[in-house]
Structure 1
Amino acid sequence: MSSTSASPKIRVATTWLDGCSGCHMSFLDLDERLFELAQRVEMVHGPLVDTKSLPERVDIGIIEGSISTEEDLVKARAFRRRCTRLVSLGDCAVNGNVPALRNRFPLAEVTDRAFRETVTLQPMVPSQGVPKLLKMVLPVHGVVAVDVYIPGCPPSADTIWYVLSELFAGRAPNPSEVTRFGA
């Protein structure tokens, strides 16, 4: 009996930019489907795995959160360069959502409010150890090309599963078949 080699696993990377991590929590809500996912996927980067550097080649990159800092900008550009397909996961990634509410105010007013006006001990704007804020918060597609958009705050595990299953099968998913605005 000859042994045949198993087909290579799909390399998936995720990242969490400016958001609440709710989309990654929905990803974990795949529950028992995570076992099936583990058979088909090699998680090569993300907050759910221990790998700290993004590999040079990734099949599917998933970005949660908006682009709010220079660090977010660098991560989004790296994901686009290294990922064959890029997925914008959740409303923060798709349209800026809650982080983008600060766009209505000058950045200096936002930082003063957050770090001086509402602080009782040592009010000051931090200059070390925190990424520099961009003037405006942007959705992922405001910086890099996105292949698939998954709306929702957060999107349901069923929606995430649908999109991943379609991508794994080599099909272009249409998340609007399983989502609706505000749900």
Structure 2
Amino acid sequence: MTTEHTIKRKFKIATTSLAGCFGCHMSFLDMDERLAVLLEQVELDRSPFTDIKHCGPCDIGLIEGGVCNAENVHVLREFRANCAILVAVGACAINGGVPAMRNYFDLQECLEEVYLSGTGITHPQIPNDPELPLLLDRVYPVSEVVHIDYYLPGCPPSADAFLQLLEPLLTGQKPVIAKSQLHYD
């Protein structure tokens, strides 16, 4: 007698944080016990939760944070190339958020203010190491670099908003986020 087991394929989800505070990832974790239920349906690929360094082929990519340096551009393009659905999560990804406040100032002036003009600096110099990612002229929303399929606003979006986005996507449906979850604070 043989027993047949139907193995249901898990959806692959990748997440990353670019120029942001990781608040969206913390909100994702706020799903608490609902996260355990979600993990029955999904497998995490690249993510701060897994420490996987590169995004492999995934069903859904969640991008938190704006784009402020060359490494962010590389990571974002890798996600777009490997994720069937790409979601901009939170204010920083959608419009640059707090990191984009530097867009009102000249980048060189910002660097000089931070690294050369501070009190108590013993050897003032602007960091210039090849290991450091090259800063962009300004902080960009992710949609100015790659095509984004869905937006999940908030600072950060609530755990409920994450679920309202993910649950329909996992069943092949278009997500509809409740208006009560759509806030920009």
1:81 alignment partner, SS class: helix
- CA spacing shift, 1:93–1:126, aligned 2, 3 Å: same
- CA spacing shift, 1:52–1:182, aligned 2, 3 Å: closer
Alignment of 1:1-183 (within 5 A): 2-55=3-56, 57-118=57-118, 120-128=121-129, 129-175=131-177, 177-183=179-185
> Aligned partners of 1:54, 1:107: CA distance in 2, in Å?
30
TM-superposed CA distance for 1:114, in Å, is: 1.8
> Aligned partners of 1:160, 1:94: CA distance in 2, in Å?
15
Moved over 4 A (4+): none
- CA spacing shift, 1:131–1:167, aligned 2, 3 Å: same
1:83-122 C-alpha deviation (Å, 9 max, x unpaired):
0000101000011011111111111011111222225232
TM-score by length of 1: 0.94
1:45 alignment partner, SS class: coil
> Aligned partners of 1:123, 1:174: CA distance in 2, in Å?
51
> Aligned partners of 1:125, 1:171: CA distance in 2, in Å?
49
**1:149·1:175 contact (CA, 8 Å) conserved in 2?**
no
The unaligned stretches of length 5 or more in structure 2 are none
TM-superposed CA distance for 1:174, in Å, is: 2.8
**2:164·2:176 contact (CA, 8 Å) conserved in 1?**
no
The unaligned stretches of length 5 or more in structure 1 are none
**1:60·1:83 contact (CA, 8 Å) conserved in 2?**
yes
TM-superposed CA distance for 1:6, in Å, is: 1.8
Moved more, 117-126 or 24-33: 117-126
> Aligned partners of 2:132, 2:53: CA distance in 1, in Å?
18
- CA spacing shift, 1:53–1:98, aligned 2, 3 Å: same
One-letter amino acid of the counterpart of residue 180, structure 1: L
Aligned residue pairs: how many? 182
Q: Percent identity?
A: 41
- CA spacing shift, 1:178–1:3, aligned 2, 3 Å: farther
TM-superposed CA distance for 1:10, in Å, is: 0.2
In our comparison, the structure showing a higher alpha carbon Rg is: 2
